[in-house]
Amino acid sequence: MSDKMKIMLVFGTRPEAIKMAPLLHKLREYPEIFDVKCCVTAQHRQMLDNVLETFSITPDYDLDIMKAGQDLTDITSNVLTALRDLFKTERPDFILVHGDTSTTMAASMASFYAGIKIGHVEAGLRTHNLYAPFPEEFNRKMAGMVANLHFAPTQKSAQNLINEGVDSQKIFITGNSVIDALYFMTDKLDNDADFTVKIDHEINSQLGFDWQASQYILMTGHRRENFGVNFINICRAIKHLSVKYPSTQFIYPVHLNPNVIKPVNDILADCPNVHLIKPLNYEPFVRLLSKSHIILTDSGGIQEEAPSLGKPVLVMRDVTERPEAVDAGTVKLVGADYENIIRHVSMLLDDNAYYQSMSGAHNPYGDGTTAEQIVKILENHKAD
């Protein structure tokens, strides 16, 4: 009988895959200690597959749950039943889940039901509003209730868990593995000329202007709580800004969700300096991120990545579970508010002192060693 620790990483979306890839590869550097398996739910199929290819990940198990028109109930029930069946034959000592997706919540429940220990990566993030973001705040709290080990990215996230009654001996401040992934990719872009030429060609095929010689704002928007009137307000603000600043380019990789595609195309398709493009793979996105002037987003992970690159970030949400960069001054919450978005983008474009105050390279989310730290913690718990 093997005395290796059996670890299974379970994830299903593009952001999870980016953040779990460094941990998966680091665990596999120690085959004498860990027997490592990777299970993807494919909650997001196409966007997940792009990241798997980027980081050379071949899943051991692919639950392939994505179906047209699926809702949160479909995702949760399909992950629960698929993992129930998998756990009948595959019995890891630990599963590792990440963050706040429905895959994370359902996988944690399935593991709890099966009596399998759970390690929660990126644990302890909180807005303290169960409906913002929805359903992410609920998902991460549910995972935190049943996790045995909590890998918190910052002191604040660790304190959130302590405040909820989690045993401090089970909480470990490790930084965020998104910085591991970001440093890996920026290093490759900086030092592999052939690779960078290939990525630039991929970007050029989507953009009809000289993006490397232009000032541009990089945008993302996909949050469920912004569907409807909020997205209309966001798009109207972008349209106003595109007219006000005709020499500034706006690059928007548009999420595949129909709730995003329709208002974006209805309002922004005819703006000459707004470039609506297909979702980008991780490599070209990091390349554009590194060359951008301002980031406008409702995403979570970009709030962690952009400060490491010295980019001001305006977050189109009312609350954030990542307050550290707000405190550092590189992130500002502007909500999905038409006037607020216009005001703060205008300030960054018009006031260089204000821009400089936000663009300092503050990095509150770690030093790129998160995966190594988690591996050492798991090794120390091998006999538990």
Mean pLDDT by groups of 10 residues along the chain of 384 residues: 87 94 98 97 83 94 88 95 97 97 97 98 96 93 98 97 97 96 95 97 94 96 80 94 98 84 91 94 95 92 87 92 89 94 98 91 84 97 74
pLDDT, position 45: 80
All domains of the chain in start order, with CATH: 5-176+367-380 (3.40.50.2000), 200-359 (3.40.50.2000)
CB 43 within 8 Å of CB 14: no
User: Residue 356 — φ and ψ, nearest 5°?
Assistant: -65, -35
d(CA 229, CA 305): 28
Residue 141's contacts (CB-CB under 8 Å, 6 or more residues apart) are 126, 130, 164
- Judge whether 315 and 303 are in contact, CB under 8 Å: yes
Q: What are phi and psi of 50, to 5 degrees?
A: -60, -40
Residues tagged active-site: 100, 122, 136, 222, 224, 255
CA 377 to chain centre: 23
Q: How far is CA 253 from CA 1, 108, 192, 284, 327, in A?
A: 50, 31, 25, 11, 28
For residues 64 and 89, is the Cβ–Cβ distance under 8 A?
A: no
Distance (Å, whole) CA 71 – CA 322: 26
Core vs surface per residue 107-137: b (16+ CB within 10 A) or e: bbbbbbeeebbbbbbbbbbbbeeeebbebbb
Q: How far apart are CA 130 and CA 40, in angstroms?
A: 26
Closest C-alpha among 28, 38, 33, 42 to residue 8? 38
* Cα separation values, 292 from 139, 210, 274, 333, Å: 32, 13, 14, 19
Cα 55 vs. chain centroid, distance in angstroms? 15
Residues in Cβ contact with 64 at an 8 Å cutoff, skipping those fewer than 6 apart: 42, 45
The model's pTM = 0.89
What strands, in cross-sheet order, belong to the sheet with 313-315? Answer: 274-277, 249-253, 216-220, 294-297, 313-315, 331-333
Find the DSSP H helices in 31-176.
45-54, 72-87, 102-114, 136-146, 155-163
30 backbone dihedrals φ, ψ, rounded to 5°: -125, 65
94-98 vs 117-121, strand pairing mode: parallel
What was the pLDDT predicted at 1? 43
